[in-house]
Amino acid sequence: MNGEVNIPWARIEIESLPESAVSPSKDVHLRGEPDREEPLDIVHASVLVNIDKNKTEEVKLEAFGLTASLFGGIRVNTQPALVGYGDLQIINGAIMPMVSS
């Protein structure tokens, strides 16, 4: 299947991470590290996400005091293993101190 979906805007708000976020999950591969031995059991899919630089003000990220716009593109393939390629740039970002309650 091939096609295109246009989403006019997006807001990504991250308030907390699960305890499992402390270490990378088994689907994370950092450049320069050896490949993992155990394969993932994932259905084949390929997803390409592009954020149009002419609409950067329409894709916002809010996470842990950071507010910013995102720009870039990522391609995610699931075969032979889950792999993501691309760049996301954080632009016009501002960090506000987090207040504990």
Per-residue pLDDT band at 7 (split at 50, 70, 90): confident
Two tokens, residue 50: 């592009």
Domain membership of residue 87 as a residue range:
39-92
What's the number of domains the chain is made of?
1
Two tokens, residue 84: 């993501």
* 16 located within any domain: no
* 11 located within any domain: no
Q: What does the alpha-carbon distance between residue 67 and residue 93 come to, in Å, rounded to a whole number?
A: 5
Q: What does the alpha-carbon distance between residue 50 and residue 88 come to, in Å, rounded to a whole number?
A: 9
* 60 located within any domain: yes
What is this structure's pTM? 0.52
Q: What does the alpha-carbon distance between residue 8 and residue 23 come to, in Å, rounded to a whole number?
A: 33
* 50 located within any domain: yes
* 48 located within any domain: yes
* 70 located within any domain: yes
* 18 located within any domain: no
Looking at per-residue pLDDT, the higher value among 69 and 77 belongs to 69
* 62 located within any domain: yes
Positive or negative: CA dihedral 88, 60, 65, 22:
negative
Chain centroid to Cα 29, Å, comes to: 14
Per-residue pLDDT band at 28 (split at 50, 70, 90): low
